[in-house]
Structure 1
Amino acid sequence: MSRAEREKQILAVAERVFANEGYQMTSMDEVAAEVGLSKPMLYEYFGSKEGLLLACLQRAKRELLESTNLAAAAAEGPEQLLFDCLLAFFKFSDEHGQAWALLRNEFSIPNASINTELEAIRVQQRDFTAGLLGNIRTDLDDQQLEAFAESIIGACERLAMWREQRPEVTAEKATEHLMSLIAPSLAAGL
C-alpha cells in the first residue's frame, strides 16, 4: 500500500474512533490496532494524537469546501446558488457523519491548535458564504456580508444538530426551512 493510501486508511479509521470515543478517550493504540499498524508507525505518520486529529480535521475541511464549491458551480441563479450550497452542507453532515461529529464536538477538546483548526473550518465556510452573498447582495458592505455569513453558518450548525434528534427531517427539508428564514433578508438581491 502506498503512503498516500495508508494515510487515507488511517484517517478513515481515526475519524471514526475520534467521533465514537471523543478526543480524550481515543488512544493511539486503538487506532493503530484497528488500522493494523504498530503504534510507532502511526506516530511516524502523524507525530502525535493531536497531529492525527488535525489531519482528520484538515481532510474534513477540504471535503466540505469541495462539496460547497461543486454545489456553487452547478447552480443557476442566486437563490438556487444559496439553496444548493446550504443543501451541500446538510448533505455533508449526513454523508460524512463521523467528520461532522468531530466538527460539532469541539467543546470536548481542550487544545488550542485543534480549536484553531476547528475555527479555521468555520472561517473557511464564512468566507465562502460571504462571497456567495456578495454576488446576491451587492448593496452590502464587507462587514455586513461577514455578519450575514456568520449568522448563516451558525444557523446551519444548529439546524444540523437539531436534525440529529429529528431524523425525519431531510437535508432538503432543512434547507427549505433555512431558506424560508433567510430569503427575506436576501430579497434585495434576488
Structure 2
Amino acid sequence: MSRADRERQMLDVAEEVFGERGYRDASMDEIAERCGVSKPMLYEYFGSKDGLLVACVRRSKAELLDATRTAMAGASDPEDVLWRGMVAYFTFVAAHSRPFAMLLREPAAASPAAAEAVEATRAQQGALISGALAAFAPGAPAEVIDAFTQIIVGGSERLAHWKTQRPEVSAEDAARYMTDFCWSGLSPYLRREDGGRSGVRTSGPSGGAGTP
C-alpha cells in the first residue's frame, strides 16, 4: 500500500473511532489494530492522537470545500447558490455525522491546534456564504453581510447537529429550513427582477423551499 493510501486508510479508521468513542476514549491502540498497522507507525505519520484528529479535521475541511463549491458552481441563479450550498453541506455532514457530533460534544477535548482547524473550516465556509449573500443581496451593507454570514454558519452547525439525532430529516429538509430562515431575514435587502423588494421565498429549485 502506498503512503498516500495508507494515510487515507488511517484517517478513515480514526474518523470512525473518534466518532464511536469520542476523543478522550479513542485509543491509538484500537486505531492501529483496526488499520492493521503498528502503533509506532501511527505516531510516525501523525505524531500524536491530537495530530491524528487535526489531520482528520483538515481533510474534512478540504472535502467540504470541494463539495460545496462544486454544488454552488452548478447554480442557475443567485437564489439557487444558497440552496445548492446548503444541500451539499447537510449531505456532507450526514456522511460524517458521528465525528461531527463528537467535535460539537467535546469542543475542549483536544488541543488548540484541533480547535483552530475546526475554526478554519467555519471561516472557509463563511467566505463562500458571504460571497453568495453579496451576489443576491447587493444592496445589503457589509456589516449585514458579515452578521448574516455568522448567523448562517452557526445556525447551520446547530441544525446539522439537531439533524444527526433525527435520521428522518433529510439533507433537503434541513436545507429548506435554513434557506427559509435566510430568505425571511434577508427579504428587506433582496431585489426582484422588476427592481422592487422581494418577500420571503416560498418555492425553490428543489421543488419548494417552503416549510417541509
Q: Which residue of 2 aligns with 1:45?
A: 45
Alignment match, 1:124: 124
Matches within 5 A, 1:1-190: 1-187=1-187, 188-189=190-191
For structure 1, list consecutive stretches of 5 or more residues without a partner in the other structure. none
Q: CA deviation at 1:116?
A: 1.1
Measure the CA separation in 1 of the matches of 2:80 and 2:156: 17
Q: One-letter code of the match for 1:181?
A: F
The answer as to whether partners of 1:126 and 1:149 remain within 8 angstroms in 2 is yes
| Higher alpha-carbon Rg | 2
Mapped partners of 1:116, 1:136: distance in 2: 30
Q: 1:82 to 1:53 in 2, by over 3 A?
A: same
Q: Find the aligned partners of 1:110 and 1:27 in 2 and give their Cα distance.
A: 13
Structure 2 residue runs of 5 or longer lacking an equivalent are 193-212
TM-score normalized with structure 1 length:
0.93
| Structure 2: distance between partners of 1:107 and 1:164 | 17
Give the conservation status (yes or no) of the 8 Å contact 1:54–1:114.
yes
Moved more, 95-104 or 135-144: 95-104
What's the Cα RMSD here?
A: 1.6
Report deviation, 1:184. 2.6
Structure 1 SS opposite 2:89:
helix
Q: Which amino acid aligns with 1:65?
A: L
Task: Give TM-score scaled by structure 2 length.
Answer: 0.84
Residues 43-78 of structure 1: per-residue CA shift (max 9 Å, x gap)? 111111111110000001011111110111111111
Q: Which has the higher helix share?
A: 1
Q: CA deviation at 1:110?
A: 4.3
Give the number of equivalent residue pairs: 190
Structure of greater relative contact order (alpha carbons < 8 Å, 6+ residues apart): 1
